[in-house]
Amino acid sequence: MRMLRAEQFGLKREVEYGTPEQNEAVRQIVEAVRNEGDTAVLAYTEEHDRVKLAAGSLRVTEGEIQAAYDHVDEAFLVAIREAAANVRAFHEKQVRQSWMDLQPDGSMLGQILRPLKRVGVYVPGGKAAYPSSVLMNVIPAQVAGVPEIVMVTPPATGGKAGIDPYILVAAAEAGVKEMYRVGGAQAVAALAYGTASIPPVDKICGPGNIYVALAKRAVFGVVDIDSIAGPSEIVVLADEQADAAYVAADLLSQAEHDEMASAILVTTSEEFGNRVAIEVEKQLADLPKAAIARKSIDSNGAVLLAESLDEAIAVINRMAPEHLEVMVEDPMSILGRIENAGAIFIGPYSSEPVGDYFAGPNHILPTNGTARFSSPVNVDDFVKKSSLIYYSKEALLANGDKIMTLARHEGLEAHARAIELRLQREGRE
Amino acid sequence: MRMLRAEQFGLKREVEYGTPEQNEAVRQIVEAVRNEGDTAVLAYTEEHDRVKLAAGSLRVTEGEIQAAYDHVDEAFLVAIREAAANVRAFHEKQVRQSWMDLQPDGSMLGQILRPLKRVGVYVPGGKAAYPSSVLMNVIPAQVAGVPEIVMVTPPATGGKAGIDPYILVAAAEAGVKEMYRVGGAQAVAALAYGTASIPPVDKICGPGNIYVALAKRAVFGVVDIDSIAGPSEIVVLADEQADAAYVAADLLSQAEHDEMASAILVTTSEEFGNRVAIEVEKQLADLPKAAIARKSIDSNGAVLLAESLDEAIAVINRMAPEHLEVMVEDPMSILGRIENAGAIFIGPYSSEPVGDYFAGPNHILPTNGTARFSSPVNVDDFVKKSSLIYYSKEALLANGDKIMTLARHEGLEAHARAIELRLQREGRE
According to CATH, the topology of domain A3-14+230-359 is Rossmann fold (3.40.50)
Q: Which is catalytic among the residues A323, A325, A352, A363?
A: A323
Contact A349 B391 (CB under 8 A): yes
How close does chain A come to B396, measured CA to CA in Å?
6
Amino acid symbol at A134? V
Q: Which of A342-356, B72-86, B114-128, B335-349 shows the lowest mean pLDDT across its residues? A: B114-128
Sheet strand arrangement including A99-102: A99-102, A108-115, A383-390, B343-346, B323-327, B233-238, B262-267, B302-305, B3-5
Give the β-pairing of A118-122 and A148-153. parallel
**Which residues, in sequence order, are bridge partners of residue A181?**
A153
Average model confidence (pLDDT) across chain A? 93
Q: Report the alpha-carbon angle A63-A69-A75, nearest 5.
A: 175
Work out the percent of chain A whose per-residue pLDDT is above 90. 83
A409 classed as catalytic:
no
pLDDT at res. B7: 80
Chain A, residues 345-384, CB within 8 A of chain B, namely 345-362, 365-366, 368, 370-376, 378, 380, 384
How close does chain A come to B304, measured CA to CA in Å?
22
Per-residue pLDDT tens for A376-420? 999 999 999 999 999 999 999 999 999 999 999 999 999 999 999
Say if residues A247 and A276 touch (Cβ distance below 8 Å).
yes
Per-residue pLDDT tens for B146-167? 999 999 999 875 445 678 899 9
Say if residues B33 and B195 touch (Cβ distance below 8 Å).
yes
pLDDT at res. B160: 57
Q: Report the alpha-carbon angle B207-B213-A22, nearest 5.
A: 155
Q: What is the DSSP string of A276-290?
A: HHHHHHHHHTT-TTH
Sheet strand arrangement including A118-122: A178-181, A148-153, A118-122, A203-205, A224-225
pLDDT at res. A159: 45
Helix A20-36 crosses helix A210-219 at what angle (to 10 degrees)?
60
Q: Which is catalytic among the residues A256, A322, A325, A352?
A: A322
Q: Judge whether residue B323 has pLDDT over 70.
A: yes
Per-residue pLDDT tens for B335-348? 999 999 999 999 99
Domains of chain B by residue range? 3-14+230-359, 20-225, 392-428
Contact A375 B356 (CB under 8 A): no
The residue of B389, B392, B402, B424 whose CB has the most chain A CBs within 10 angstroms, and thus the best one to mutate to test that interface, is B389
Contact B83 A406 (CB under 8 A): yes
Contact A406 B79 (CB under 8 A): yes
Give the β-pairing of B99-102 and B108-115. antiparallel
Q: What is the DSSP string of B268-288?
A: S-HHHHHHHHHHHHHHHTT-T
pLDDT at res. A228: 76
Q: Judge whether residue B317 has pLDDT over 80.
A: yes
For residue B321, the 8-state DSSP code is -
Chain B residues near residue A357 by CB distance under 8 angstroms: 402-403, 406-407, 415
Alpha-carbon gap, residue A379 to A364, rounded angstroms = 12
pLDDT at res. A13: 60
Alpha-carbon gap, residue B404 to A245, rounded angstroms = 18
Per-residue pLDDT tens for A206-226? 988 899 999 998 898 899 999
Say if residues B51 and B160 touch (Cβ distance below 8 Å).
yes
Alpha-carbon gap, residue B313 to B339, rounded angstroms = 9
Nearest CB partner across the interface for B393, out of A15, A349, A362? A349
Q: Which of A225-239, A277-291, B255-269 shows the lowest mean pLDDT across its residues? A: A225-239
A79 to chain B: closest CA residue: B402
CA–CA distances in Å: residue A93 to residues A145, A361, B101: 13, 11, 9
Matching fold, domains B3-14+230-359 and B20-225: yes
The contacts of residue B291 (CB under 8 Å, 6+ apart) are: none
According to CATH, the topology of domain A20-225 is Rossmann fold (3.40.50)
- Residue in A390, A369, A365, A366 with CA at minimum distance from that of residue A10: A369
Chain B, residues 276-305, CB within 8 A of chain A, namely 283, 287-289, 293
Alpha-carbon gap, residue B185 to B23, rounded angstroms = 11
- The pLDDT of B355-380, averaged and rounded, is 95
How close does chain A come to B43, measured CA to CA in Å?
25
How close does chain A come to B167, measured CA to CA in Å?
11
Q: Which of A1-15, A242-256, B351-365 shows the lowest mean pLDDT across its residues? A: A1-15
Alpha-carbon gap, residue A143 to A135, rounded angstroms = 12
Nearest CB partner across the interface for A351, out of B257, B365, B418? B418
Contact B421 A245 (CB under 8 A): yes
- Residue in B140, B313, B156, B330 with CA at minimum distance from that of residue B237: B313
The contacts of residue B167 (CB under 8 Å, 6+ apart) are: B123, B129, B131, B134, B153
Alpha helix (H) ranges present in B175-209?
184-193
How close does chain A come to B16, measured CA to CA in Å?
9
- Residue in A342, A205, A323, A337 with CA at minimum distance from that of residue B384: A342
- The pLDDT of A152-159, averaged and rounded, is 74
For residue A147, the 8-state DSSP code is S
The residue of A88, A386, A393 whose CB has the most chain B CBs within 10 angstroms, and thus the best one to mutate to test that interface, is A386
Give phi and psi for A67, each to the nearest 5.
-65, -35
pLDDT at res. B12: 61
Q: Which of A238-252, B45-59, B129-143 shows the lowest mean pLDDT across its residues? A: B45-59
pLDDT at res. B163: 86
Chain B, residues 320-339, CB within 8 A of chain A, namely 332, 335, 338-339
Catalytic residue list of B: 322-323
Q: Report the alpha-carbon angle A97-A99-A101, nearest 5.
A: 165
Per-residue pLDDT tens for B91-118? 999 999 999 999 999 999 999 999 999 9
Chain B, residues 202-261, CB within 8 A of chain A, namely 202-203, 220-224, 228, 243, 245-246, 249-250, 252-253, 255-257
Q: Which of A147-151, B216-220, B229-233 shows the lowest mean pLDDT across its residues? A: B229-233
